[in-house]
Amino acid sequence: MQYLDTSFNIADHQQVKVPNGGVPQMTDLMDFSLKLIPEATIYNPVEMRHTSIHEAATNPLFAAAIGYDETVKFYESLGLQFPNTEESRRRVEAHAENYRRQTVPMIKPTGDQLLAYYKPGYYTAAKSFFITLNKKKISVLSRARTTTSTRCSTAR
């Protein structure tokens, strides 16, 4: 009977590469392992919603949307080794600048259209707001809670 050795060195698969395009690349094994945990989610500013970590990590615009420092933290939080070098920074930031240019509206938005543009992230309500539904007072916005922006473009 033939013996097939399926062992591998996990350290080889923990390396993240940043090619010339500036989009971080994981090995196929790490990509597959993230696919196995779809319930682990993260806010994905590219899709403007929570997605699985696998969807976020494999989205070519994710690193551009969150910036270099957050990208390094993201991959390191997954237990991967991100090449934190000046060349990697230059590549990711060049890709991010291209992403930023392409997400700015072509025509300057009017006053009412500006309501649709928020900087990505979380916001705390300026004051609490309640609605009455079936004679019950329901909190919609609370100063204690934060809300997620719904759009990730920044009007300029």
Q: Looking at residue 151, what is its pLDDT?
A: 42
Contacts of 1 (CB under 8 A, 6+ apart): none
The H helix count followed by the E strand count for the chain is: 6, 6
| Structure confidence by residue, pLDDT tens digits, 38-50 | 888 989 888 888 9
Model pTM above 0.75 = no
| Structure confidence by residue, pLDDT tens digits, 14-64 | 778 887 777 888 888 888 888 888 888 989 888 888 999 999 988 989 998
Q: Residue 83 burial (CB < 10 Å; 0-12/13-18/19+)?
A: middle
Q: Looking at residue 86, what is its pLDDT?
A: 92
| Structure confidence by residue, pLDDT tens digits, 65-94 | 888 999 999 988 888 888 888 998 999 999
